[in-house]
């Protein structure tokens, strides 16, 4: 997901038109900022990733959902 706004340890993140509040507690040592991409699991950002890696993961997810993986 892409970080939009950060409010303390929470970030408003978006992916494919879906917006969620995500807890950044687990990645605060990586100093996330608006515009960064994060890998999210059950409401927590667990890893910062670059835009290229985010795109690759989104493509893989779409393949899995469509049954072509």
Q: What pLDDT does residue 69 have? A: 58
Per the structure, the complete domain to which residue 55 belongs is given by 2-66
Going by pLDDT thresholds of 50, 70 and 90, the confidence category of residue 67 is confident
Task: Give pTM, 2 decimals.
Answer: 0.85
Pick the residue with more confidence: 23 or 66? 23
- 24 with 1: CB under 8 angstroms? no
Domain count, the chain: 1
The residue count for the chain: 69
Q: Report the CATH number at residue 56.
A: 2.30.30.140
Q: pLDDT tens digit string along 20-64?
A: 999 999 999 999 999 999 999 999 999 999 999 999 999 998 999
Going by pLDDT thresholds of 50, 70 and 90, the confidence category of residue 68 is confident
């Amino acid at each position: 997901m892409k970080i939009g706004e950060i409010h303390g340890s929470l970030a408003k993140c978006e992916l494919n038109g879906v917006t969620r509040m995500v807890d950044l507690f687990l990645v605060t040592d990586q100093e996330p900022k608006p515009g960064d991409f994060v890998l999210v699991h059950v409401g927590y950002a667990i890893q910062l990733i670059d835009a290229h890696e985010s795109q690759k993961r989104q493509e893989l997810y779409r393949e899995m959902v469509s049954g072509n993986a």
